[in-house]
Amino acid sequence: MSQKFSSFASLAQLARALADKSVSSVELASHYLDRIERLNPEINAFITVERDKTLDQARAADARIAAGTAGPLTGLPVAHKDLFCAEGWRTTCGSKMLADFVSPYDATVIHKLHAEAGMVCVGRANMDEFAMGSSNETSYFGAVKNPWDTARVAGGSSGGSAAAVAAGLAPVATATDTGGSIRQPAGMCNLTGIKPSYGVVSRYGMVAYASSLDQGGVMAHTAEDCALMLSAMAGFDERDSTSLERPQEDYTRALGQPLHGLRIGLPKEFFGPGCDPAVMAGVQEAIQTYQKLGATLVDVSLPHTDLAVPVYYVIASAEASTNLSRYDGVRFGYRAPEYDGLDDMYKKSRSQAFGEEVKRRILVGTYVLSHGYYDAYYLQAQRIRRLITHDFAAAFTQCDIILGPTAPTPAFRIGEKIADPVQMYLFDIYTIAVNLAGLPGMSLPCGLANGLPVGLQLIGNYFAEARLLNAAHAYQQATDWHRQHPAGLD
Ligand code: GLN
């Protein structure tokens, strides 16, 4: 096909092509659907693709464009992490438990992006089971392969979202971040991703993992695309009791501000041993770029960083164990085909349909919440969570944004860490504290280490999404890393 646009075009570029009528929404959707058909068997980024549904949405978008009632995102393709409930679509959460679950309703994010904005869903992206993982290897639907090197993981838990965008199977993808699941796969796949402050994007209709940490967001090629998407996704929702009542923001308007005087905090705990020198080289080069752009550097400290991983795995597992108690085989989800009474039905349904990692979290979570252990583990973890939050508050008295690596190494090999959960958990060392504090964080491409993408993390104070996006955008105006794509996928 003579192609009028690149498969790796940004959302903003595709929006211009739609606006000047050089392409239709149906053409765009068909292009990505064809690529998915061709490349997904290898990458495994998608769990569900429904060509007819997608093309119906695209035709409706074209009609809206023709009628002159289109918004800025109307007709543009998007992939969704398979935990945003979408009416009539299978919503599996990467689990056998929900393998046949078709959602009867739309999550708020889905409603905003489709019913309101008029986007077109090209498919449902693979993910770690119930979003538990850092490598997308716990999915019931198999591991996702990193388009940069198919022997390696795409990161997790939103590995399908990341691989889909990185392989040019969708221009943007929704994702969620409970402990790093947007930033870490975005970093491994050379994408730009944002996790907003807790409460900015509604969690209504997002399958719950750890409710005090879960936050929806987006992955794209550029910070500008993240700004476009977040403007449509964010907003108060009375159906989510933790949603925050704040004025609606157009995040694209913040882009293009000069960085002169921006104070960038460098936490010493992010620059110590434990980070791959090749990753550090990319981060150091980014720091120099920011200095050239007019930012000043400040040394800061986040002294409780080393406690973030253990605290997170107590709190997240505790919340998971209660959230996942709803999967009992009664009202929805998997039910064991044979059982002997109600208790046995619960037991068999849960034993047969949850994977190893999910069971591990349920066991840990139930233990730390149980009588006699609650104070020693859960309550203590909550206390340290408060200290971690204070660390950030103190740092933000000295700086405007915090900068560091997204992850300690580039993408690791499939199978390399899966047998050792603690090794896997430690991979989240730089991202997890941000969720415990409820702050916004981003990852953006800042280099290649032996041909593998390196992620730069920017962390903002509460509701500093616009400032973060502007800082990321300024960096992308000055560098080319975000324009690099995996070889051989054009
Ligand atoms: N890797 C972390 C976990 O397994 C974070 C996952 C996430 O952010 N959803 O819980």
- What pLDDT was estimated at residue 4? 85
For residue 1, the model assigns a pLDDT of 43
Binding site membership of 316 for ligand 1 (Cβ less than 6 Å): yes
- Note the pLDDT of residue 20: 94
Phi, psi angle pair for 46, to nearest 5°: -115, 140
User: What is the rounded distance in angstroms from the CA atom of residue 399 to the CA atom of residue 411?
Assistant: 30
Distance from the CA of 331 to the center of ligand 1, in angstroms? 27
Per residue in 25-66, pLDDT (tens digit) is 999 999 999 999 999 999 999 999 999 999 999 999 999 999
Residue 169 alpha carbon to ligand 1 centre in Å = 24
Cis preceding-peptide flag for 157 (omega within 30 of 0):
yes
Task: Check pLDDT > 90 for residue 488.
Answer: no
Q: How far apart are CA 325 and CA 322, in angstroms?
A: 5
What is the C-alpha to C-alpha distance for residues 284 and 404, in angstroms, rounded to an integer? Answer: 9
Check pLDDT > 80 for residue 3. Answer: no
CA distance 322 to 316: 10
- Is there an atom of ligand 1 within 6 Å of 486 CB? no
Which one of the listed residues 24, 25, 81, 135 is annotated catalytic? 81
Mutate to test the pocket of ligand 1, among 134, 136, 184 (most ligand atoms within 8 A of CB): 134
Contact 93, 320 (CB under 8 A): no
Judge whether 412 and 153 are in contact, CB under 8 Å. yes
283-311: per-residue pLDDT in tens? Answer: 999 999 999 999 999 999 999 999 999 99
Question: If you average pLDDT over residues 388-405, what whole number do you get?
Answer: 98
For 339-393, what is each residue's pLDDT tens digit? Answer: 999 999 999 999 999 999 999 999 999 999 999 999 999 999 999 999 999 999 9
- State residue 490's pLDDT score: 82
d(CA 431, CA 441): 8
Burial of 275-302, coded b for 16+ CB within 10 Å and e otherwise, reads beeebbebbeebbebbeebebeeeebeb
The closest of 437, 407, 444, 436 to 423, measured between CA atoms, is 407
Q: What is the pLDDT of residues 169-197, one digit of tens each?
A: 999 999 999 999 999 999 999 999 999 99
Q: What is the pLDDT of residues 74-89, one digit of tens each?
A: 999 999 999 999 999 9
Determine the Cα–Cα distance for residues 175 and 246; give it in Å rounded to an integer.
22
Q: Is 325 a catalytic residue?
A: no
Q: How far apart are the first and last CA of the chain?
A: 13
> Is residue 196 within 6 Å of ligand 1 at its C-beta?
no
Tens-digit pLDDT profile for residues 208-265: 999 999 999 999 999 999 999 999 999 999 999 999 999 999 999 999 999 999 999 9
Determine the distance separating the centroid of ligand 1 and the alpha carbon of 217, expressed in angstroms.
14
Residue 452's pLDDT is: 98
Active-site position among 181, 202, 243, 443: 181
Statement: residue 118 has pLDDT above 80: yes
Q: Which atom of ligand 1 is nearest to the CA of 312?
A: 10
Ligand 1 within 6 A of CB of 179: yes
158 alpha carbon – ligand 1 mean position (Å):
9
Three-state SS sequence of the chain: CCCCCCCCCCHHHHHHHHHCCCCCHHHHHHHHHHHHHHHHHHHCCEEECCHHHHHHHHHHHHHHHHHCCCCCCCCCEEEEECCECCCCCECCCCCCCCCCCECCCCCHHHHHHHHHCCCEEEEEECCCHHHCCCCCCCCCCCCCEECCEEEEECCCCCHHHHHHHHCCCCCCEEEECCCCCCHHHHHHCCCEEEECCCCCECCCCECCCCCCCCCEEEEECCHHHHHHHHHHHECCCCCCCCCCCCCCCCHHHHCCCCCCCCEEEEEHHHCCCCCCHHHHHHHHHHHHHHHHCCCEEEEECCCCHHHHHHHHHHHHHHHHHHHHHHCCCCCCCCCCCCCCCHHHHHHHHHHHHCCHHHHHHHHHHHHHHCCCCCHHHHHHHHHHHHHHHHHHHHHCCCCCEEEEECCCCCCCECCCCCCCHHHHHHCCCCCHHHHHHCCCEEEEEEEEECCEEEEEEEEECCCCHHHHHHHHHHHHHHCCHHHCCCCCCC
Burial call 426-461: b when 16+ CB within 10 Å, e when fewer: ebbbbbbbbbbbbbbbbbbbbbbbeebbbbbbbbbb
Could you tell me if the CB of 57 is within 6 A of ligand 1?
Answer: no
Looking up tokens 């080319």 gives: 480
User: Listing from the earlier edge strand, what are the strands of the sheet with 452-460?
Assistant: 46-48, 120-125, 77-81, 173-176, 216-220, 192-195, 441-449, 452-460, 401-405, 263-267, 296-300
Residue 430, CB-side half-sphere exposure with 13 Å CA sphere: 33
**pLDDT over 90, % of the chain:** 98
Whole-angstrom Cα distance, residue 291 to residue 289?
Answer: 5
Statement: the pTM of the whole predicted model exceeds 0.95: yes
Percent of the chain with pLDDT over 70: 100
CB atoms within 10 A of CB 245: 9
CB 476: neighbour CB atoms within 10 A?
A: 20
**Between these two residues, 274 and 101, which has the higher pLDDT value?**
101
> Of all atoms in ligand 1, which is nearest to the CA of residue 316?
10
Residue with token string 């199977």? 169
Residue 317 reports pLDDT greater than 50: yes
Q: Which residues contact 475 (CB under 8 A, 6 or more apart)?
A: 223, 286, 289, 290, 293, 444, 446, 456
Whether residue 309 has its Cβ less than 6 Å from ligand 1: no
CB of 134 shorter than 6 A to ligand 1: yes
Angle at Cα 245 formed by Cα 240 and Cα 248, nearest 5°?
A: 110
- Ligand 1 mean position to 313 CA, how many Å? 9
